[in-house]
Chains A and B, each alone.
Chain A
Amino acid sequence: MTVSTARPSSAQTSTGAPLPAGAPQRRVRQVGRILTTLLILAVIVAAFLGPYVWMFASGLKTQASIFTDVVPISWRTFIPVHATIDNVTELFADRGIGRALLNSALVAVGQVLGALAVCCPAAYALTRIKFPGRNVIFAFILATFMLPSEALAVPLFQLVGTLGLQDTLVGVGIPWIANAFGLFLLRQAFEGVPHELDEAARLDGAGHLRIFWSVILPNIRADLVTFVLTIFLFSWNGFLWPLIAIQTPEKQLVQVAIAQSVSPGELPNWGLSFAGASIATIPLLVLFVFLQRLLIPGLARSGLK
């Protein structure tokens, strides 16, 4: 985790160098390096944190004060001085965002569990069982990753209707359970478990199910967290499909619910939009901050093999 490749010259060796003539020059370089680091940090904070702070702060402002606070830019832009929770209460009281949050959570959890149940065995088969056509099948599965869900919406809607799943939370979640990207992540993780382990288990007389269950799965717990979060993310952030698939207001999902204040084709109310955007983002943010130690290394590993 801590191999530093790009900056091999550590501070100790340079200050401990016996050549006094070079020392001031080195110090200048060192100061320069610190300044560069700080500058890069400042740019990153401004580019990535700035918009979010503005969004969260503006969700607690009235529309008029969002405008007066933005020009000229100052600390007022990012901190709600006269904070109001009117936007938030309106979203919860009038627009059923509480119910929508619950629905989204239900669908996302259902989708995650379904994907776990379906993708894990599939990844096992693709990495641990030798059978003819394995790579062809994997290619066919991966190809679905290239299909934009927006383009599939119309035929999918017909199909879900034929299956009698129209306007149900199941109908929203089930089409995406067989998730190609998720399977890809898991396949990479499964590949990372040494084959010697299952060979050993096989000699002990273990079958595929046992190897899958007691040898492989316990070894990829961190990757499973990555997988779970990725699927959760896909599900939680979906917009167009839930919009088309759900008719009953009590079954609406959060992205659609906030879209009523963040709606394309409609005059935006900036305060409500920011508040809605914040509410839809915060649950993921919390989840992410708690689990990022596991999520990020998992994603990072997926790129290696």
Chain B
Amino acid sequence: MSTKAEPVPGRRAKRFAPAGGGRARQDLLAAAAFLGPFIILALIFQYGPLLLMVKDSFYDYTLITPDLKTFVGFDNFVRIFTDQGTVKSLIITLLLSVGVVILTIPLAFLLAMFLNGKLPARGFVRTMVFLPVITSSVVVATLWTFLLNANGLINSALGSVGISQQPFLTSGTQALPAIIVLTVWQQLGMATVLYLGGLQSLPSELMEAATIDGASPRQRFRYITIPLMSRTTVLVVVVITVFALQSFAPAYIMTGGAPNGTTNTLVYLIYQTAFTLQQPGYASAISLLLLVIALAISLVQMRLLRTRWDY
């Protein structure tokens, strides 16, 4: 790797540092040297394929015969909005993201409050909740396939308290909620830990002052804890939204998008369109749409929450 390039400008910067006048230029050189390797790799391996993808999105071809390309202009983009399946997948993906965020935020917050209190096995609980975060999506999806199977652990547990067998992944009304729950399960640990960090950084003087002023615990929570946690919330919401928008393994391993496309998430649709349906051009167009959506949602979320709570 190209770390060898760095010492030279660094040393030069040091030699001329006290001179003052050339500092801006030296800073620029140093910045180039420090950022260079990262930028080069990102350009090659992230933006390179991205540009290829942009180009591909204007063509119609198959993966097997990439040399036989037909230029189709904006057809692939127009098709996104005329293709019922794609529109449905878009809606499903947004529903999934919204569902995951709505469930994760309060749960993670409460769990963080709980863990922040006096608790005998705090470290143990924290570790447990964090387990799914470190487990691969392939393993999580496989595990949940078996958990949700008609003969699986969850149905067995429900059965032991007298609830009849649930169809879960084979039911049009239960499959998406099941995948939302799974995703929440997978992400809760991360969100909780981020919140826990936020709670532990709350200025204790503020709390003490409020207590002295006679604020009830509820008031302190409402007027101090929640506003101060808003920046953490932004981060958590962005991380979780992006994760949910990129949901792939559950559809790929558990449902294949069934029943009736109700779990056909966008990234799985992209994968299927490119590989199985052999339309990588169209898949590229959908990928670009997904990228734009992810960027837009993140920007809006950051803006909204920042302006409202910044202090």
Contact = CB atoms under 8 A, between A and B. Distances in A.
A and B assemble together: yes
A73 B197 contact: no
B283 interface: yes
A117 B37 contact: yes
A272 B111 CA distance: 34
A45 B274 contact: no
Contact of A147 (B33, B46, B128, B253): B46
A5 B198 contact: no
A257 to B, nearest CB: 11
A72 interface: yes
Contact of B30 (A129, A147, A258): A129
Contact of A125 (B35, B126, B246): B35
Interface string A206-221: 1111101000000000
Bin chain A's interface residue count. Answer: 35 or more
A264 B253 contact: yes
A32 B298 CA distance: 42
Given A174-B41, A299-B190, A156 B49 contact: yes
Contact of B139 (A71, A240, A281, A304): A281
Contacts, number: 319
A237 B137 contact: yes
Report the contact-size class of chain B (Cβ under 8 Å from the partner): 35 or more
A274 to B, nearest CB: 8
Contacts of B15: 207
Interface in B208-234: 211, 217, 220-221, 225, 231-232
A147 B242 CA distance: 9
Interface in A117-160: 117-119, 121-122, 124-126, 129-132, 134, 137, 141, 143-148, 150-156, 158-159
Given A125-B30, A150-B271, A303 B283 contact: no
Interface in A219-268: 233, 236-237, 239-240, 255, 258-259, 262, 264, 268
Interface stretch (B4-12, B83-91, B95-103): B4-12
B16 to A, nearest CB: 9
Given A280-B136, A304-B232, A207 B14 contact: yes
Nearest to A263: B253
User: Chain B at the A interface: mostly helix, strand, loop or mixed?
Assistant: helix
A166 interface: no
A37 interface: yes
A48 interface: yes
A119 B36 CA distance: 10
B6 A277 contact: no
A109 interface: no
17 contacts: A40-B114, A48-B132, A50-B153, A54-B147, A118-B3, A118-B38, A121-B38, A141-B38, A147-B46, A148-B267, A151-B290, A155-B56, A177-B45, A202-B17, A239-B137, A300-B200, A301-B197
Interface of A: 1, 3-8, 37, 40-41, 44-45, 47-52, 54-55, 58, 67, 70-73, 77, 113-114, 117-119, 121-122, 124-126, 129-132, 134, 137, 141, 143-148, 150-156, 158-159, 174-178, 180, 183, 202, 205-210, 212, 233, 236-237, 239-240, 255, 258-259, 262, 264, 268, 270, 273-274, 277, 280-281, 284-285, 288-289, 292, 296-297, 299-304
Given A124-B34, A154-B280, A303-B195, 5 more contacts: A5-B207, A47-B185, A125-B35, A129-B31, A207-B17
